[in-house]
Amino acid sequence: MERHEDRFLLSAAADGELTGAEKSRLDAHVSVCAACRGELDALRALKAGVAALPRRAMPLSLPDVVAARLGAEPAPGRRWAAWLWEPAAWVPAGALAAAALWTLFAAPEPVEAEALPLEELMASHARCAVESIVPTGDLVAAEFSSRLQSRLEAPHARR
Amino acid sequence: MDRKERFVLLLREAGDKAYNFAFQLAGNDADARDLVQEAAVRAFENMARYDSARPFDTWMLTILRNVFLDWRRRARLRAAEPLDAGEGGLAEFLAGPDLDPAETALRGESAADVQRALAALPEHYRAAVVLSDMEGLRYEDIAEVLDVPVGTVRSRIHMGRRLLKKILAETRGGAYGTA
Ligand SMILES: [Zn+2]
């Protein structure tokens, strides 16, 4: 077979995600096509390279931090969640709408974006990034700062 | 055991997977922690919608990515930060021939090289590759997390790997010259 198969099939083959028919077709092609065989090997090597990267483990304290937040009063939407969580409770549509409204009005007041100490936030984000194992230069430029962003999101959420 | 305690147990089990994914999305530990916390709170508030026939960790990863996209969308609106080129932004590169012998294998690149290249991938490719290769998810589950058809998962993983190869080849070019 001279014609190369759809290249997506090569990655799917490396992942063991081909259907039986696709696999037969690709096997037949790869057995006679050195280019596709080489590409398949390269994709497998790449997959192995990514799979071998050190994984980040969740900080042990994080579930406790979350648990504390769940217990805390101001998590917006908790009343809504409670309605949903107990299906046994009969909830008229009006009450659901009221609960939804409650979550809107119970949300904390947004911080004025203009009042934020932006430079300080930026600097602290840069420090966080430096501590990470990921090389920082390109990444910081390419990625957002969710830390900064989480301070800014409230005004948008209210639009 | 109340439902908060049950939820925290689930979170402990899914935690490393969620945290690693968050780290690969956000690029640093501080943001990864914030992401997981926010996703966990959102998951707890929406537990009534969780289908217990499905793995909890897949559901958690789905919420995590949605939180990430929400944050990023707002950041982009706010600051117009340079982010992904988008699905079409790399069209020119990706339309080119992909059987370049100079980049057909890893040649002793360090984990740091691979991590750097991965971090440089546009998010929609990076998420797919990380979920497949680091988290070990099947395409069907990746499709659920990314909320796209399985065919799109296929193309994103393949495009992501091609781009990874390209980035690594350029890294190597600096050190060894282009073969
Ligand atoms: Zn071929």
Tokens representing B118?
């991965």
- Whether B38 shows a pLDDT value over 90: the answer reads yes
Task: Classify the phi-psi angles of A17: left when phi > 0, otherwise alpha if psi is within -120 to 50, otherwise beta.
Answer: alpha
Q: How many CB atoms lie within 10 A of CB B150?
A: 15
Query: What's the pLDDT at A2?
Result: 52
Is the CB of residue B101 less than 8 Å away from at least one CB of chain A?
yes
Q: Is residue B59 part of a domain?
A: yes
For chain B, positions 124-153, list CB contacts with chain A under 8 A: 129-130, 132-134, 138-139
Which residue among B75, B102, B135 closes a domain? B75
ipTM of the shown complex: 0.82
- pLDDT category of residue B32 using cuts at 50, 70 and 90: very high
Average pLDDT of adjacent 10-residue blocks, chain A of 159 residues:
73 96 94 93 94 93 92 49 43 46 40 36 36 36 40 39
* Residue B161, domain CATH: 1.10.10.10
B70 and B101 in one domain? no
Q: Is residue A29 part of a domain?
A: yes
Q: What is the pTM of this model?
A: 0.67
Query: For B71-130, how does the pLDDT look when each residue is reduced to its tens digit (9 = 90+)?
Result: 988 875 554 444 444 444 444 444 444 444 444 456 667 889 999 999 999 999 999 999
Instruction: Domain of residue B8: give its range.
Output: 3-75
Query: What's the pLDDT at B128?
Result: 98
B103 and B167 in one domain? yes
DSSP one-letter code for B131: I
Strands of A44-132 (E only): list them. Answer: none
B67 and B111 in one domain? no
Q: What is the total count of domains within chain B?
A: 2
Q: Is residue A157 part of a domain?
A: no
Which residue among B41, B75, B109 closes a domain? B75
Distance to chain B for A65, nearest Cα, Å: 8
Query: For B95-107, how does the pLDDT look when each residue is reduced to its tens digit (9 = 90+)?
Result: 444 444 444 456 6
Nearest C-alpha in B relative to A78: B45
Which residue among B50, B75, B100 closes a domain? B75
**Exposed, middle or buried by CB within 10 Å (0-12, 13-18, 19+), for B82?**
exposed
Instruction: Domain of residue A33: give its range.
Output: 7-52
* Residue B35, domain CATH: 1.10.1740.10
